[in-house]
Amino acid sequence: MKNSVPIVWMKGISKVYRSEGVETVALRNINLTINKGEFIAITGRSGSGKSTLMHLIGLLDTPTSGAYKLNGVDVSKLDEDSLASQRNVEIGFVFQSFNLLPRATSLENVTLPAIYAGVSEEERLERATKLLTEIGLEDQLNKRPNQMSGGQQQRVAIARALMNDPELILADEPTGNLDTKSGEDVMNTLKKLNKDDKTIVLITHEKDIANQAKRMLHLEDGEIK
C-alpha cells in the first residue's frame, strides 16, 4: 500500500520577480499534487513558467506566496542549510546540459552527491559502480564526459541523480540536446526507474516525449491549463 502523503503538494503557489520597480509574474496560483510513484510531464512554451516551477519543486528557489510540502515537510519553515539537506536527500536532478564535471570520470561524477551526504569512499564507489552498471555503462566507469556520447553522458547524469536514493527525480528537458536514438535510451531509463517506484517529473516542450509520461500538465502564462 502506497504512502498517502504526496511527494509534492502545492497550494496557491505564485512566483513574482521584481527588478528595478518592474514586476514579472512567472507563476500564479499553482495548485499541484504529485503522488509517489507518478510519472508526470509538465509542458508549455518557452516563458510559460516550466523552469520556474521545477526550481520551486526542487527547492532551488522559494515561492513569493503559497504553501509547499515536500514529502509532508513544510519547506517554508526551513532555513538555507535545511533546504540544501532536504534537496540532497529527497531530490535527484537531471538537466538538459548534463552538468558533468569535465575532468572527472563517470564514477567520480556519480559519487559527488554522496560526498556531500557524508558517505564513506568505499560505499560511494560501490554504489556508483552498481548504478552505472544497472543503466548499461559498466564499460564507461573511467571515461570522462568528452570520451562519451551525449546519450551516455545523460545516463551518467541520471546515475548521479540516483546516488542518494531520492524519492523524486526532476528531469529538465533531459532529451533536449540528444539525437533521437539517445533520447529514446534516456526515456527508457526514466521509464524503468518509474517502474521501480521512483517519482519522475519531466519538463519538456516536446510532445512525443511528454506523451510517454503517465500524466501531463500544461503551463500557459504561469498557470496550469
DSSP string, the chain: ---SS-SEEEEEEEEEEEETTEEEEEEEEEEEEE-TT-EEEEE--TTSSHHHHHHHHTTSS--SEEEEEETTEEGGG--HHHHHHHHHHHEEEEETT----TTS-HHHHHHHHHHHTT--HHHHHHHHHHHHHHTT-GGGTT--GGGS-HHHHHHHHHHHHTTT--SEEEEESTTTTS-HHHHHHHHHHHHHHHHTT-EEEEE-S-HHHHTTSSEEEEEETTEE-
**pLDDT above 80 (res 8):** yes
Q: Does the predicted TM-score (pTM) go above 0.85?
A: yes
Q: For 160-196, what is each residue's pLDDT tens digit?
A: 999 999 999 999 999 988 889 989 999 999 999 999 9
Mean pLDDT check: name the lowest of 103-107, 116-120, 171-175, 203-207.
Answer: 116-120
Q: What pLDDT score was predicted for residue 4?
A: 78
Q: What pLDDT score was predicted for residue 77?
A: 85
* Banded model confidence at residue 76, pLDDT cuts 50, 70, 90: confident
Q: Could you give the domains of the chain?
A: 8-224 (3.40.50.300)
Q: For 50-59, what is each residue's pLDDT tens digit?
A: 999 999 999 9
